[in-house]
Amino acid sequence: MINITSSGIPTHILSFTMTMADFQIDLLQFVRTLITFAVFILIIKVHSTSRALLVHNSHKQIAYDAFASPIKHVPGPFYSRFTRLPLKLAIMSGRRSFFVDDLHKQYGPVVRIAPTEISIASVDGFKEIHRVGGGYLKSDWYGQLANFPKLGS
């Protein structure tokens, strides 16, 4: 059964009428939602493009580290040319020193433990690498051992 108002218009039609102010508010909300969606899509496109470039460049880096790096001839497990995952797992489980020691027992005093990392297990090698002015590149970790700021920083 449909109720009819005194003006002859069914009540269910009246319940859907909107004022101009309501329409403007809904239109503004729609535009805001549309802009938010467009920005979201743009961010996804930029992220996926940059990720594709990163993946492309990381494949080049992996190939370089494995086959053309200056440390390519250092003995070690085959996987250490491509990934540091086993080393990371050993670090996370608190067994890094045992992991590296086992590699030294198998491959000798100089071992490649990751694509860009070598472990040296000899006193002479340690002295050569860690002497002042030795000319070996070291990570920023070593800077934390010093009691003075790094020059040029």
Q: What secondary structure letter does DSSP report for 38?
A: H
Measured distance CA(139)–CA(128) in Å, rounded: 16
pTM: 0.53
* Residues whose CB falls within 8 Å of the CB of residue 8, separated by 6 or more in sequence, listed in order: none
DSSP bridge pairs for 114: 117
- Over the stretch 31-80, which tens digit does the pLDDT of each residue have? 777 777 777 666 666 555 545 544 545 767 777 777 888 888 999 999 89
Integer-rounded Cα Rg, in Å, for the chain is 33
- Over the stretch 114-143, which tens digit does the pLDDT of each residue have? 988 899 999 888 888 878 777 777 777 777
